[in-house]
A and B are shown apart, each in its own frame.
Chain A
Amino acid sequence: MATKGEPVSEPEKAAPPPEAPVLEPEKAVPPPETLAAEPEKEAPPPETKAAEHAPPPHDYLVVVDLVLRVVLFAAAVTSVVVMVTSKQTKMVTLPLPPFSKVPRPAKFTHSPAFIYFVVALSVAGLYSIITAAVSFLALLKPGRPAKLLAHFVIFDVLILGIVAAATGAAGGVAYIGLKGNSHVGWTKVCNVYDKFCRQVGASVAVSLVASIVLVLLVILSAYSLSKKIPQ
């Protein structure tokens, strides 16, 4: 089951390289004498220059945007990992004559809603890495182009739809697992698989946080777009 979580953590390690090559030309132009300096030390000068050129409010908006994207990544990865590792095996007595106890596992792959949840949150995690990198690059350059902000809004909204639908689907199915449905004879399963249900519930709660973060991101982008209009 851990293999499902791998694609998410893999790009996490792969993500930093794109930042480094772009930093290279940035530091190569102003100070050619410091060749082996680490990128973190060289990053501040362009930022302070940006603060001089662009009005200051945008800079902290960019930082908030970046922080929210990192939070989104953390939330997406957390909920995927918690959901994937929620497997629980219990000894269940057979209802048929042998009445022997057999191990019965409960895992997320047993429900299509949970599979969709894992896929959707993985996509959101991947997306947050890419946009965090883009946002970080935008932080180094003076001012963010309006086109980038508008594209952020459009794609954030799309991902929000996907994540909200996944949260709803997993939450709806988990609620039936918790309460059961006497009208159609669906018995509750959470009294048997307690750990499984706890993990699924936690995962859905974290994905709810991810959708709230996405809403904040879109509002932030729309706000900074509408703030930039005058001049």
Chain B
Amino acid sequence: MDTQKGNDHGEVKEVGNRKVSMSEVGLRFLAFSLTLVAAVLVGVDKQTKIVAIPVVSTLPPLNVPVTAKYHYFSAFVYFVVVNAVACAYALISLVLTLASKKGGSKGGLALMITTLDLVMLALLSSASGATGGVGLIGIRGNSHVQWKKVCNVFEKFCHQMLAGLILSVLGSAIFLLLLVISARKLQKKHY
């Protein structure tokens, strides 16, 4: 569609498009690494502690090793699965973006990538929300239903989980940024 316009104008637009594409590639790579690290951090999260459990008040407390693993909590399992899916998708979309740049942009492919970006954003947000909601109970407990806090015992487990959560939130922010960029790109084509 640029062939009708002046040559220098088309040149400028080409440069602008390429710049956006390079930033898109960079952002997709960032999303890939963030979700990968988040999934791995939570996936390998495991801590065993010796906890003294008082059985009878007269006897000395019983020392029992207690383990905290991510797959004890369904919310954390969901988190790992979603981050792995988002990581795989980020890699695939990265390859597709690089490939489509050579063959010229297609409207259908761009719309599909936008849609899938959107789905990934929704999944990552809900996984972060679920992990945050359950993790907050782990940190603070819930006195109304007698759920005790566990992060005073499993500090390392909780810190690693928090790091994974922050990385995943950053990953979803990258997907949001990608969607904003593609919206702006679509808008620019109208002028």
Contacts and interface: CB of A to CB of B under 8 A. Distances in A.
Chains A and B form a bound pair: yes
Contact of A150 (B72, B110, B119, B187): B187
B176 interface: yes
Contacts of B137: 111, 173, 176, 186
B115 to A, nearest CB: 5
B73 A165 contact: no
B142 A111 contact: yes
A207 to B, nearest CB: 10
> Main secondary structure on chain B at its contact with chain A?
helix
B163 to A, nearest CB: 18
A228 to B, nearest CB: 7
Contacts of B133: 111-113, 116, 168-170, 172-173
Interface string A144-169: 00110110011001101110111111
> Main secondary structure on chain A at its contact with chain B?
helix
Given A111-B142, A175-B75, A211 B122 contact: yes
Nearest to B182: A222
Contacts of A158: 176
A68 to B, nearest CB: 14
A164 B82 CA distance: 13
A160 B125 contact: yes
Contact of A226 (B111, B138, B145, B180): B111
Interface residues of B, number: 50
Interface string B173-188: 0001001101110110
Given A157-B180, A215-B122, A150 B73 contact: no
A93 interface: no
Contact of B129 (A146, A169, A226): A169
Nearest to B67: A183
Contacts of A168: 75, 125-131, 133
Contact of A218 (B78, B118, B129, B132): B118
A204 to B, nearest CB: 11
Contacts of B118: 157, 160, 215, 218-219
Contacts of A173: 133-134, 137
Contacts of B72: 181, 183-184
A110 interface: yes
B142 A172 contact: no
Contacts of A181: 72-73
Interface of A: 106, 110-113, 116, 146-147, 149-150, 153-154, 157-158, 160-162, 164-173, 175-177, 179, 181, 183-187, 189, 211, 215, 218-219, 222-223, 225-226, 228-230
